[in-house]
Amino acid sequence: MTDVNVKILPLPHFDGLDLPAYETSGSAGMDVRAAVGADDAVVLMPGHRAMVPTGLSVAIPEGYEIQVRPRSGLAAKHGLTCLNTPGTIDSDYRGEIKVILINLGDAPFTIARGERIAQLVLAPVTRLAWKKVGALDETARGAGGFGSTGR
Ligand SMILES: O=c1ccn([C@H]2C[C@H](O)[C@@H](COP(=O)(O)OP(=O)(O)OP(=O)(O)O)O2)c(=O)[nH]1
Ligand SMILES: [Mg+2]
């Protein structure tokens, strides 16, 4: 498997943090860290959300996206997840990557500087082109959905 090169620009407030990295040889995602101030950790109250800075900007090659996905440990243990999961980082986005975290747990959660808050997954993008028609081919399912096959 050939790695895809992605340019990454650490911003001034990233200073001293580790770049996102695969935690194991088979990891699909690289954990990304909170670039919040060392002295002003974000405290997420139950039911609240926050846009957490990562201190990173990237230039993804055309034909790819980066998905921002939750970490299962934070979700299972603390009810913390990405509100817009999977977040989409477009190949033409040059702003700072931010993680929209929400606390669905029942206790306040403190996000400290350097905490691994989410994971970044590089994925190929297939772009579609619409072909406008007057009717669609028939199928056994037809318009059935939303539980039409049973519970
Ligand atoms: O979790 C996320 C999701 C998005 N973005 C950035 C990168 C992405 O390329 C841009 C736009 O994201 P999206 O298309 O999901 O948001 P939108 O509400 O449609 O905004 P826009 O009108 O700017 O496309 O915001 C993040 O930093 N983190
Ligand atoms: Mg958009």
The tokens 């986005």 sit on which residue? 93
So what's the ipTM on this one? 0.99
Does pLDDT of 133 surpass 80?
Answer: yes
pLDDT in tens, 24-33: 999 999 999 9
Does pLDDT of 122 surpass 80?
Answer: yes
Query: What proportion of the chain, given as a percentage, has pLDDT over 90?
Result: 95
The model carries a pTM of 0.96
Which of 11, 32, 81, 88 best tests ligand 1's pocket when mutated (most atoms within 8 Å of CB)?
88
Does pLDDT of 4 surpass 80?
Answer: yes
Nearest C-alpha neighbor of 74 from the set 112, 36, 39, 38: 112
Where exactly are the structural domains of the chain?
7-124
Which pLDDT score, from 0 to 100, does residue 40 have?
Answer: 75
* Mean pLDDT (the chain, rounded): 97
Q: Tell me how far apart the alpha carbons of residues 68 and 34 are, in angstroms, rounded to a whole number.
A: 13
pLDDT in tens, 32-86: 999 998 877 899 999 999 999 999 999 999 999 999 999 999 999 999 999 999 9
Which pLDDT score, from 0 to 100, does residue 39 have?
Answer: 76
* 98 ligand 1 Cβ < 6 A: yes
Does pLDDT of 118 surpass 80?
Answer: yes
Which pLDDT score, from 0 to 100, does residue 101 have?
Answer: 98
Q: Tell me how far apart the alpha carbons of residues 97 and 82 are, in angstroms, rounded to a whole number.
A: 13
* Ligand 1 atom 23: residue of nearest CA: 93
* 57 ligand 1 Cβ < 6 A: no
Would you tell me which CATH number, out of the four given (3.30.365.10, 3.40.1080.10, 2.70.40.10, 2.130.10.10), belongs to the domain 7-124?
2.70.40.10
Phi, psi (degrees; rounded to nearest 5) at 91: -70, -20
Which pLDDT score, from 0 to 100, does residue 141 have?
Answer: 98
Q: Is the dihedral of CA 125, 119, 3, 26 positive or negative?
A: negative
| pLDDT band at residue 1 under the 50/70/90 scheme | confident
